[in-house]
A and B are shown apart, each in its own frame.
Chain A
Amino acid sequence: DVKVTQSSRYLVKRTGEKVFLECVQDMDHENMFWYRQDPGLGLRLIYFSYDVKMKEKGDIPEGYSVSREKKERFSLILESASTNQTSMYLCATYLRGNTEAFFGQGTRLTVV
């Protein structure tokens, strides 16, 4: 079974802090994604990566950056956290050419 692990289930940070959300997958999947989930808005794509050191902006990249130094790890960075970044963050991965995405359990981030 594919396992996608997010480093924290719950996180509370202060406004202005730099925040790192980590995602690790234990299969050899090329594609990795970061979404945020908000009530009534569904999942919105922040960034995605098709390979090591490659990244592309999704629909809402403002205020975020990403890092993919190794194939199994995809990090989401909030450069200066703000209260409107309070949300559930979901990491996903899938194998190129396949059609099933695998998700982590999510990180619920609260910025105070």
Chain B
Amino acid sequence: GDSVTQMEGPVTLSEEAFLTINCTYTATGYPSLFWYVQYPGEGLQLLLKATKADDKGSNKGFEATYRKETTSFHLEKGSVQVSDSAVYFCALDNQGGKLIFGQGTELSVKP
């Protein structure tokens, strides 16, 4: 079945460091791909998305490119802030109308 695999956390970075969180997926067909973020004490919210190969999703300085050849959707940010500390989830929707999530990666940014 369809699945999503993320790099394990927690990830601890200093402020202004470069961030990469790896995400790979297994799916038949052409899924839509997402990154959701969960700030402490809150539910998940959409960070960015890409609906077809080579699309780049971006928001709040984060970006991810849909790479069909490597079945990947890695999240990147050039300079993280303390306020980016959260749990990040990679997810896919394979046109079945339901989201499949990865394990989540906890990010902690220190001043």
Which of A42, A99, A104 is the one whose CB lies under 8 Å from B49? A99
**Is A24 among interface residues, defined by CB-CB distance under 8 A?**
no
Which of A31, A43, A92, A99 is the one whose CB lies under 8 Å from B32? A99
**Cross-chain contact A42 with B104 (CB below 8 angstroms):** yes
What's the count of A-B pairs with C-beta under 8 Å?
55
On chain A, the number of residues with a Cβ less than 8 Å from chain B's Cβ atoms is: 25
- B10-68 residues at the A interface, CB under 8 angstroms: 32, 34, 36, 41-46, 49, 51
Q: How far is the CA of A2 from the CA of B97 in the complex (A)?
A: 18
Q: How far is the CA of A44 from the CA of B98 in the complex (A)?
A: 11
Q: How far is the CA of A36 from the CA of B99 in the complex (A)?
A: 13
Give min CB distance, B72 to chain A, whole Å. 17
On chain B, the number of residues with a Cβ less than 8 Å from chain A's Cβ atoms is: 23
**Cross-chain contact A42 with B89 (CB below 8 angstroms):** yes
Flag B93-106 by CB within 8 Å of A: 1 or 0 each. Answer: 10001111111100
Contacts of A35 in B (CB 8 A): 101
**Cross-chain contact B102 with A105 (CB below 8 angstroms):** no
**Cross-chain contact B98 with A33 (CB below 8 angstroms):** yes
Q: Given the interface contacts A99-B32, A100-B46, A103-B43, does A43 sit within 8 Å of B89 by beta carbon?
A: yes
Q: Supply 11 A–B pairs (Cβ within 8 Å), ascending by A.
A: A31-B98, A33-B98, A42-B103, A42-B104, A43-B99, A43-B101, A99-B51, A100-B46, A102-B45, A105-B41, A105-B42
**B binding-site residues for A, Cβ under 8 Å:** 4, 6, 32, 34, 36, 41-46, 49, 51, 89, 93, 97-104
| Besides the known contacts A92-B99, A99-B51, A99-B93, 14 further A-B residue pairs in the complex with CB atoms under 8 A apart | A33-B98, A35-B101, A40-B103, A42-B4, A42-B103, A43-B89, A43-B101, A45-B98, A45-B99, A96-B97, A101-B99, A103-B43, A103-B44, A104-B43
**A binding-site residues for B, Cβ under 8 Å:** 4, 31, 33, 35, 37, 40-45, 48, 50, 58, 90, 92, 96, 99-106
